[in-house]
C-alpha cells in the first residue's frame, strides 16, 4: 500500500467515527395524559397507608415454618399468610390489617393457639 492509500483510509475512518459520534445527540419529548399524573399522586397516597401484620412463627427450619403455615390456614382461613425468609430465619406473617385495632382483635384470637404471636408494622420498601 502506498502512502496516499493509507492517508485516505485514515481520513475515511476518522470521518465515519466523527459522523457516528455526532449522530448520538437528540431531544426526547414525552407527551402523557393528565390522568397519568393523577395516578402517580394516587400511588403516593396508597404507599403511605400503614398496615399491620402478625408474626406467628420464626425459626431456622423451612419445613417447620411451612407446617405452622398450613396449620394456621386450617384454623384461621380468613387471613392471608406468607412465609418470609430473613437470614437465618423463616417467618410466618399473617394478615394485612388496616389499623391497629383490627390487628389487636385478630391477635386476641390467634394468641389462643400461638402464644408467641405479636403485631408489627412491616418496613416500607
pLDDT, one tens digit per residue, over 58-84 is 999 999 999 999 999 999 989 999 999
pTM (2 decimals)? 0.61
Residue tagged 394485612 (cell numbers):
96
Q: CA 114, CA 54: separation in Å to the nearest integer?
A: 11
Residue 102 has pLDDT above 90, yes or no: yes
* Stretch (H or E) spanning 92: strand 89-97
- The domains located in the chain, with CATH, are 51-120 (3.30.70.1070)
Q: What share of the chain is helix, strand, coil (3-state, %, to 5)?
A: 45, 20, 30
Q: How many helices and strands (H and E) does the chain possess? A: 4, 4
Least confident of 15-19, 60-64, 79-83, 106-110: 15-19
Amino acid at each position: 500500500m502506498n502512502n496516499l492509500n493509507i492517508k485516505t483510509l485514515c481520513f475515511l475512518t476518522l470521518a465515519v467515527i466523527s459522523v457516528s459520534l455526532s449522530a448520538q445527540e437528540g431531544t426526547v419529548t414525552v407527551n402523557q395524559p393528565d390522568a397519568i399524573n393523577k395516578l402517580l399522586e394516587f400511588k403516593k397516597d396508597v404507599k403511605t397507608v400503614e398496615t399491620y401484620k402478625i408474626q406467628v412463627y420464626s425459626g431456622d427450619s423451612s419445613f417447620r415454618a411451612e407446617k405452622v403455615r398450613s396449620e394456621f390456614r386450617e384454623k384461621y382461613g380468613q387471613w392471608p399468610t406468607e412465609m418470609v425468609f430473613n437470614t437465618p430465619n423463616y417467618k410466618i406473617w399473617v394478615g394485612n390489617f388496616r389499623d391497629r385495632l383490627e390487628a389487636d382483635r385478630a391477635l386476641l384470637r390467634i394468641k389462643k393457639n400461638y402464644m408467641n404471636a405479636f403485631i408489627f408494622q412491616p418496613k416500607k420498601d
